[in-house]
Chain A
Amino acid sequence: GQNIDQPTEMTATEGAIVQINCTYQTSGFNGLFWYQQHAGEAPTFLSYNVLDGLEEKGRFSSFLSRSKGYSYLLLKELQMKDSASYLCAVRDGDYKLSFGAGTTVTVRA
């Protein structure tokens, strides 16, 4: 089975940095994904990690430690438009993605 945990909610100020943690215990591992989902919309792909380390993409970075079953998504220079849910997902060996329940980030002015 798959067990993916992430905090339910986080609040931060515009211009600040927020780190969303994700821990996982899965029966197989073939990559970790982060998605962004605005209210009432479909999830959109943000980042992918399959090897340990940090992947940076503009204001967003994602980190993976396979030995610890741990990942985080780092959002820098927060903007109001970053208010959304952030979903952590793990892919097993059969191209199936299992998702955590999501972290709702609220950015305040």
Chain B
Amino acid sequence: DAGITQSPRHKVTETGTPVTLRCHQTENHRYMYWYRQDPGHGLRLIHYSYGVKDTDKGEVSDGYSVSRSKTEDFLLTLESATSSQTSVYFCAIKGDREAGELFFGEGSRLTVL
């Protein structure tokens, strides 16, 4: 258990509304990631963070922004949700072992109507 919690776990919203997903970790890991998972595409990186206030874009960052004001929290914001952003969103942290494998949160299922 890497001490990762995501909230909310499920959300239904309407097109054009703002949405914020929260990822919280309890073990002081430096690297945090947001992925989305869709059928046929696997996991795709949205944004990642390598420290407080240090973030960078992934391969599918359009329409998303992130913030990391504290080590333990990494927020993903959809400024104006669209139906194409209906997905399962996973937060991850990079572990401290030599492999540096990622540990994933339980996921947040977002439906945009």
**Chain A residues with a Cβ under 8 A of chain B:** 2, 31, 33, 41-45, 48, 50, 87, 89, 91, 95-102
- B side interface size, CB within 8 A: 24
Tell me, in angstroms, the Cα distance from A2 to B102 when the chains sit together.
18
Residues from chain B with Cβ under 8 Å of A43 in the complex? 43, 90, 104
**Chain B residues with a Cβ under 8 A of chain A:** 31, 33, 35, 40-45, 48, 50, 58-59, 90, 94, 99-107
Given known A-B contacts A43-B104, A87-B43, A48 and B99 have beta carbons under 8 A apart: yes
Pick the most buried of B44, B59, B99: most chain A CB atoms within 10 A of its CB.
B99
Q: Smallest Cβ distance from B58 to chain A, in angstroms?
A: 7
Q: Smallest Cβ distance from A89 to chain B, in angstroms?
A: 8
